[in-house]
Copies of this chain bind each other. A is one copy, B any other.
Amino acid sequence: MLIQLNPTGVLDLLSQLEVDLLEQSSASERYKLFRNCALAVLNVGSHTDSSNEIYDKYKDFDIRLVSRERGIKIELENPPVTAFVDGEIITGIHEHIFSVIRDILFICQKYEKNLKEQKAITHMVFDMLRNADALRVNIEPNMVVCWGGHSINELEYKYTKQVGYELGLRGLNICTGCGPGAMKGPMKGATIGHAKQRIKDNRYLGLTEPSIIAAEPPNPIVNELVILPDIEKRLEAFIRTAHAIIIFPGGAGTAEELLYLLGILLHPDNTKQCLPVILTGPKESETYFKELCKFIQMTLGKEALDKFEVIIDNPELVGQKLKSAMTDVRNYRKSEGDAYYFNWTLKIDNDFQQPFAPTHENMASLDLHLDQPKQQLAANLRRAFSGIVAGNVKDEGIKAIKQNGPYILSGEPALMKDMDKLLQAFVEQGRMKLPGSKYVPCYKIKA
């Protein structure tokens, strides 16, 4: 089976110079990354955490750029048939394929591997969003970022749909990491809310990264897909795009996101910031949030708890609070002369922008003691959870664990004990991996 696809979006209009560079890029060491991401996008609907499983299944899949005088085409060999209807690719998947090419092969060429300067990193994040047409001028604040686990139970999943429905009814849009679970539920719910309100320009923004796209392939409902190069830029894209943030129950990744967010909001420059954050879930998840809050209070102090609100079992209230908060967000942005589509005034320290490579060495040497500034502690804890996510579902992490055994985390005993407890709870609640496999922890806590 051989399929040709025409480009969409910015790739529709390329110069011959750009086509040459794209071809070189696709033939280079980036080819594998590009092929795997394309495969992930085509293979949507499969349920597995293991990218290797997918790669094995589609060994004879190939993707090639074909250049013409007027630009490029894509040729797919033996793509997963689920992406097609009567031989024609589903439009949403078609667009996602070209988002992959755009972000993995095209725009990346403009940037050096290791940007150091803060303004340059933020510019890159902005540029990638702009290039993906994901920044809209003259639109009132309405983008709600939803975080939460890719592996949540049925009750929790239904709850995320209900929250999404209430957001959709109020004309709010959804941004998630675009995998399954808490990343899909709010979008599905919002779809119905938007339909009932006759909203046609509804946005389902998915922000992902190459190393996780296979485990969390974007649902075709996602109508704007951006693939940031690493988790740090992805997190920056989330919080600069967000007008509000909802955190549903989740595992290590969700903890990473919350710590990242709090670390930034605790920065003295951000005290005036207006960025509503709500943690919410069904009645049955109440203890989950209690434990999480306890951990936050112990590590980052009471002031961190003031940065968010917990609402249990009340999707309508979540919708109402966020809808009415949009006015505050708009007023804040206006008073600062800031854009609605990108939160420029939010201060993000270098600690949170620089990529953290989850090597065994880096993980082992994390400074996990309570007697350091709160932001710094948040940054280090964020890194610890980031490493665990990598060890759980990202290729590089899984490989490292296979070779060297679990990561060793050590630090202040009291802190390590609480962390262990939290992680243990994630394991027991099945939040680390999709059901169907027994979870073997990728870390060891050394008190």
Contacts and interface: CB of A to CB of B under 8 A. Distances in A.
A15 B221 contact: no
Interface stretch (A28-36, A120-128, A153-161): A120-128
Contact of A198 (B13, B92, B170, B341): B92
Contacts of A220: 195-196
Interface string A181-210: 000000000011001111010000000000
A69 B85 CA distance: 35
A90 interface: yes
Chain B CB within 10 A, most for which of A200, A320, A339: A339
Contacts of A86: 170, 320, 323
A42 B122 CA distance: 35
Interface residues of A, number: 49
B16 A344 contact: yes
Given A191-B192, A196-B221, A320-B86, A120 B69 contact: no
A120 B16 CA distance: 9
Interface in A288-319: none
Nearest to A84: B169
A71 interface: yes
Given A71-B339, A337-B70, A85 B18 contact: no
A338 B90 contact: no
A70 B223 CA distance: 25
Interface in A320-345: 320, 323, 336-339, 341-342, 344-345
11 contacts: A13-B130, A13-B137, A16-B119, A17-B120, A17-B122, A17-B123, A69-B344, A85-B169, A91-B196, A92-B196, A191-B191
B196 A15 contact: no
Contact of A90 (B197, B223, B323): B197
A20 B68 CA distance: 38
B195 A92 contact: yes
A12 interface: yes
A236 interface: no
Q: Which of A17, A71, A323, A337 has the most CB of B within 10 A?
A: A17
Nearest to A130: B13
Contacts of A198: 91-92, 95, 223
Contact of A17 (B119, B137, B192): B119
A90 B197 CA distance: 6
Nearest to A339: B70
Nearest to A121: B17
A118 to B, nearest CB: 10
Given A15-B122, A16-B119, A70-B337, 17 more contacts: A13-B130, A17-B119, A18-B123, A69-B336, A69-B338, A69-B345, A70-B339, A85-B170, A86-B323, A90-B169, A92-B195, A92-B196, A95-B198, A191-B191, A195-B221, A195-B223, A198-B223
A122 B120 CA distance: 28
A345 B69 CA distance: 7
A85 B166 CA distance: 9
Contact of A195 (B13, B191, B320): B191
A195 B70 CA distance: 30
